[in-house]
A and B are shown apart, each in its own frame.
Chain A
């Protein structure tokens, strides 16, 4: 898909029928159309051959110009890990920071600079292990940041230890007898932290990835996008079942307002499988086997539904939900912080001398 094709698609995808202001409001728009080349830095990209990060980088480079904002007002901040080299390869402002802390740095930047589009690039170890605390607090606070969580379920940069998203039983350098750690489900974690925007895409699925990124950019508040990413060196083919022939029986794409159907097309053109409620949980059934009214219609406003959908995805990848789980409006921390400062400026005096004097002074005569 070329940039030109993406742009109109984005417009359609961004509008989820939700009210409110957009994530890019206050960010100055570019005077001239920009291309992927404009967003490409002169640095040689140094991921391993076949790394899923290449596909994401290519998608992001093509996607950024479609936002129509000034390149110099775009900032990428990363932590530590393979994916955290990302900022070096984009010709925007960028910072390659320290392990797990990118959301904190991005928060300070976003609070003080409403004219910037601020992106965080992080991985499963960076975001969910060492930086777990910052991640959940950024999400609950709802600072206007976009967090791209590259989940390859392994530590790549340190050469192959299990990560907080690795499957239980996984044999790695640090778990020769198999991992005994129960993994995080990043989408469930984000929804548990009351994130206002949560989405998931697969590195190789450019169309869906671009769509989710577009909606994230348009969302005002913290957006978390989990990108399932292949690490051919230390966790080769970990998501292959989601790319192979049978993938349509596993992938459950979400579209706001549409029935949740997937799999080979049935007679009505929709998927043969469907998601229905089963008490307080969800289950996958054959669409034809249930009354159509029982088939759930996706509602990105519904927190409980989003959480239940996140639980369908298990370690074995039998069902992997993609798309936008949740997209709701809630006041953002940075807007609120700035409006308090603005209100104080309007109301209070900023006379430094009277601040220093305080209320009780006395004079010593010369």
Chain B
């Protein structure tokens, strides 16, 4: 068939297409060169899938370099998407379908494709030169090494070029649209709606309509190719998921976090001030918030991380909701200012989107290794509350919760997101904006000296919360000076008095320790489990998925997810002590487990991995099985996970 045969006009619906096969869940991975537009392709497929009504979870994975050398292994960028007709919690372990746009993408990803998996390869890139570049001696498309898979070789660049012949675009420009060809092909295979993508392309290239048309043509050509070639005999259908009733949209963690900060401004009635410095993977929050000035949000791109948090603290002193967003290296730089905020007892929200460390580490990969930095990374006794969202959508609620605590208790709060949450996406049940509640900043307006004089005591605490009054400049009669030097309890003037310092250190700790947080809840559907798996942050998904798997095999296992890491929920110690085994999987070398062991004297076990990628459900399943005792079916006989109880 020549490309001229492809009808690139309206997508035809021929009647002799075989009936689609149904699937409960599918994992697709698009992999290509950094310049191939894989993230965009994945994003579009995600949007189509969300619109269709599947539950979904995504895992973008890309190099830190903007354009790593073309065609090399370090330059491979991929986007994995898991979608299903039931509620899922992870982006999936292994792809069912791998789209490889070049030999490097094939080499980097083929190890994850299970035998029998579908492999779609852009053959145009399989030149001798490209193969040699990454160390293939023979062409894997010809040497039989791909025999275990259902291989579909497609000359995507050639076909795209052919489809775009009439457009007058250069060969190079035309070939650039091959990612849309791949998207069209996959959209056809999985019966995805295409209107959204066409509309998206028209808007994205509004200033260059010829490019919009070219991409749409390529998209349609991919769709038509699937339909008309013999190569693809089957299509698949994944029915919409039965989610809780409501209005849904697709959202990434960073967007949800930015919306949460906007909403926190509403909830507290305070103007929002973001002081930030660009850093991967947090910059998108700065970008997003800078678009929402209409919501009384001011964004300030500072000269460095320290200035970002300093400006936010200055805004808080003036009665705004001061926010700073960063990643681990930025938190290290901000530490001294965060310590000042602890001493000043002013509200401040610090968002740490964790990435691989130490130092520059792995900027685009995920990790949970900043927990102890958040907990202890300041000089002196400088406690502060820590909150970690568990999913992309949960970043919204976590931001509001963090702001509530910051404003109510006059304290800096660290919110620990991570790279997987930041860039991952899921369907999000859109909250009712009118039902988010309110938090009264309760500014001081009157002198408060206990002796009835007209003095203002900036460190006289609320008996219930131990919070100090927040008197903003401009309030007559409450002029006061605060600073990093130790203050006299109550009066707030400088004090070097030994007993006073001891009292103040303890008061600050008591205030943070006394923050009211919801009780922890154990999930143990069948009851009677004696192994409790405790997680925090983005490991929520893989832990739940791993637990579903072992439960599907007939085992009992309990899970507990911690959202409040400081203070811990009041009932946590009791819960931990009521299980024979407590297991804490973390993407670090055991930071939460260290806190739990120290705090509660429980012999909690640790399972850790720091590969820059989230845990896989299968991996945790195996770990969990290892901890289940002999009264359960032998852990040696691990069957595959039953359908429908998967991650």
User: Residue A96 at the B interface, CB < 8 A?
Assistant: yes
In contact, A112 and B318 (Cβ under 8 angstroms): yes
Q: Which residues of B contact A94 (CB under 8 A)?
A: 479-483
Determine, out of A8-16, A50-58, A213-221, A343-351, the stretch whose residues face the partner at the interface: A343-351
Interface residues of A in 309-366 (CB under 8 A from B): 337-338, 340-341, 343-345, 347-350, 352-353, 355-358, 360-366
User: Residue B37 at the A interface, CB < 8 A?
Assistant: no
In contact, A112 and B295 (Cβ under 8 angstroms): no
CA distance A338 to B320 in the complex (A): 14
Determine, out of A100-108, A146-154, A162-170, A269-277, the stretch whose residues face the partner at the interface: A100-108
Q: Residues 311-346 of chain B: 1 if any A CB is under 8 Å from the residue's CB, otherwise 0?
A: 111111111101000000000000011011000100
CA distance A108 to B296 in the complex (A): 15
Closest to A91 in B: B479
Pick from A133, A363, A364, A366: contact of B304, CB under 8 Å = A133
Interface residues of B in 157-202 (CB under 8 A from A): 196
Pick from A105, A348, A349: contact of B317, CB under 8 Å = A105
Determine, out of B205-213, B470-478, B570-578, the stretch whose residues face the partner at the interface: B470-478
CA distance A42 to B494 in the complex (A): 12
Q: Residues 81-112 of chain A: 1 if any B CB is under 8 Å from the residue's CB, otherwise 0?
A: 00000011011111111100101111111111
In contact, B311 and A350 (Cβ under 8 angstroms): no
CA distance A73 to B476 in the complex (A): 8
Least distance between A320 CB and chain B CB atoms (Å): 31
Q: Residues 392-435 of chain B: 1 if any A CB is under 8 Å from the residue's CB, otherwise 0?
A: 00000000000000000000000000000000000000111110
Determine, out of B240-248, B612-620, B625-633, the stretch whose residues face the partner at the interface: B240-248
In contact, A113 and B311 (Cβ under 8 angstroms): no
In contact, A108 and B312 (Cβ under 8 angstroms): yes
In contact, B292 and A355 (Cβ under 8 angstroms): yes
Q: Which residues of B contact A303 (CB under 8 A)?
A: none
Interface residues of B in 300-316 (CB under 8 A from A): 300, 302-304, 306-316
Closest to B396 in A: A356
CA distance A105 to B271 in the complex (A): 17
Contact A352 to B262, CB < 8 A, known contacts A98-B340, A109-B315, A134-B310: yes
Contact A364 to B246, CB < 8 A, known contacts A43-B493, A107-B300: yes
Q: Which residues of A contact B51 (CB under 8 A)?
A: 360, 362
Least distance between A116 CB and chain B CB atoms (Å): 5
CA distance A63 to B253 in the complex (A): 52
User: Residue B298 at the A interface, CB < 8 A?
Assistant: yes
In contact, B318 and A108 (Cβ under 8 angstroms): yes
User: Residue A174 at the B interface, CB < 8 A?
Assistant: no
Q: Which residues of A contact B312 (CB under 8 A)?
A: 108
In contact, A349 and B473 (Cβ under 8 angstroms): no
CA distance A246 to B202 in the complex (A): 77
User: Residue A77 at the B interface, CB < 8 A?
Assistant: yes
Give the B interface residue count (CB, 8 A): 75
In contact, A341 and B247 (Cβ under 8 angstroms): no
CA distance A112 to B299 in the complex (A): 10
Contact A112 to B320, CB < 8 A, known contacts A92-B479, A107-B300, A107-B314: yes
CA distance A274 to B294 in the complex (A): 56
User: Residue A72 at the B interface, CB < 8 A?
Assistant: yes
Contact A352 to B245, CB < 8 A, known contacts A104-B311, A345-B294: no
User: Residue B40 at the A interface, CB < 8 A?
Assistant: no
User: Residue A71 at the B interface, CB < 8 A?
Assistant: yes
In contact, B473 and A116 (Cβ under 8 angstroms): yes
User: Residue A137 at the B interface, CB < 8 A?
Assistant: yes
Contact A93 to B479, CB < 8 A, known contacts A116-B474, A357-B249, A362-B53: yes
CA distance A135 to B273 in the complex (A): 21
Closest to A105 in B: B314
Closest to B315 in A: A108
CA distance A106 to B298 in the complex (A): 15
Interface residues of A in 239-290 (CB under 8 A from B): none
Interface residues of B in 335-365 (CB under 8 A from A): 336-337, 339-340, 344
Least distance between A76 CB and chain B CB atoms (Å): 8
Q: Which residues of B contact A355 (CB under 8 A)?
A: 259, 262, 292, 295
Contact A96 to B318, CB < 8 A, known contacts A72-B473, A75-B473, A112-B298: no
CA distance A337 to B302 in the complex (A): 13
In contact, B481 and A88 (Cβ under 8 angstroms): yes
User: Residue A115 at the B interface, CB < 8 A?
Assistant: yes
In contact, B303 and A133 (Cβ under 8 angstroms): yes
Q: Which residues of A contact B434 (CB under 8 A)?
A: 353
User: Residue A200 at the B interface, CB < 8 A?
Assistant: no
Contact A341 to B293, CB < 8 A, known contacts A101-B310, A360-B47: yes
Q: Which residues of B contact A298 (CB under 8 A)?
A: none
Q: Which residues of B contact A343 (CB under 8 A)?
A: 293
Closest to A115 in B: B474
Name the residue in B250, B318, B433 with the highest tally of chain A Cβ atoms < 10 Å from its Cβ.
B318
Name the residue in B243, B317, B478 with the highest tally of chain A Cβ atoms < 10 Å from its Cβ.
B317
In contact, B294 and A347 (Cβ under 8 angstroms): yes
Pick from A115, A137, A364: contact of B244, CB under 8 Å = A364
Contact A352 to B433, CB < 8 A, known contacts A364-B244, A364-B248: yes
Q: Which residues of B contact A41 (CB under 8 A)?
A: 481
Q: Which residues of A contact B317 (CB under 8 A)?
A: 95, 105, 108-109
Q: Which residues of B contact A98 (CB under 8 A)?
A: 336-337, 339-340, 484
Interface of B is mostly: mixed
CA distance A43 to B344 in the complex (A): 19
Q: Which residues of B contact A341 (CB under 8 A)?
A: 293, 296-298
CA distance A73 to B479 in the complex (A): 9
In contact, A87 and B481 (Cβ under 8 angstroms): yes
Q: Which residues of A contact B545 (CB under 8 A)?
A: none
Least distance between B202 CB and chain A CB atoms (Å): 13
CA distance A355 to B47 in the complex (A): 17
User: Residue B216 at the A interface, CB < 8 A?
Assistant: no
Closest to A342 in B: B293
CA distance A186 to B248 in the complex (A): 57
User: Residue A61 at the B interface, CB < 8 A?
Assistant: no
Pick from A74, A97, A108, A116: contact of B275, CB under 8 Å = A108
Contact A93 to B293, CB < 8 A, known contacts A107-B300, A112-B273, A362-B53: no
Q: Which residues of B contact A105 (CB under 8 A)?
A: 310-311, 313-314, 317
CA distance A348 to B107 in the complex (A): 48
In contact, B479 and A72 (Cβ under 8 angstroms): yes
User: Residue B263 at the A interface, CB < 8 A?
Assistant: yes
Q: Which residues of B contact A364 (CB under 8 A)?
A: 53, 240, 242-246, 248
Q: Which residues of B contact A358 (CB under 8 A)?
A: 249, 251
Contact A108 to B322, CB < 8 A, known contacts A95-B317, A115-B474: yes
Pick from A90, A137, A337, A362: contact of B303, CB under 8 Å = A137
User: Residue B266 at the A interface, CB < 8 A?
Assistant: yes
Pick from B47, B196, B275, B494: contact of A88, CB under 8 Å = B494
Q: Which residues of A contact B101 (CB under 8 A)?
A: none
Closest to A344 in B: B293
Pick from B247, B293, B432: contact of A362, CB under 8 Å = B247
Q: Residues 26-43 of chain A: 1 if any B CB is under 8 Å from the residue's CB, otherwise 0?
A: 000000000000000101
Interface contacts beyond A104-B314, A110-B314, A112-B320: sample of 20 additional A-B pairs, CB < 8 Å, sorted by A? A43-B494, A88-B481, A90-B481, A95-B481, A95-B483, A98-B484, A101-B337, A103-B310, A104-B311, A108-B273, A108-B315, A111-B298, A111-B300, A338-B298, A344-B294, A350-B295, A358-B251, A361-B248, A362-B249, A364-B246
27 contacts between A and B (CB under 8 A): A43-B493, A70-B474, A70-B476, A72-B476, A87-B483, A93-B480, A93-B481, A95-B344, A95-B482, A98-B337, A103-B310, A104-B306, A104-B311, A105-B317, A111-B311, A112-B298, A134-B306, A341-B293, A343-B293, A344-B294, A347-B294, A352-B262, A358-B249, A358-B251, A361-B249, A363-B248, A364-B244
Lowest 6 CB-CB distances: which A-B pairs, in order?
A104-B310, A96-B483, A108-B314, A108-B311, A366-B245, A344-B293
Chain A positions near chain B (C-beta within 8 angstroms): 41, 43, 70-75, 77, 87-88, 90-98, 101, 103-113, 115-116, 133-134, 137, 337-338, 340-341, 343-345, 347-350, 352-353, 355-358, 360-366
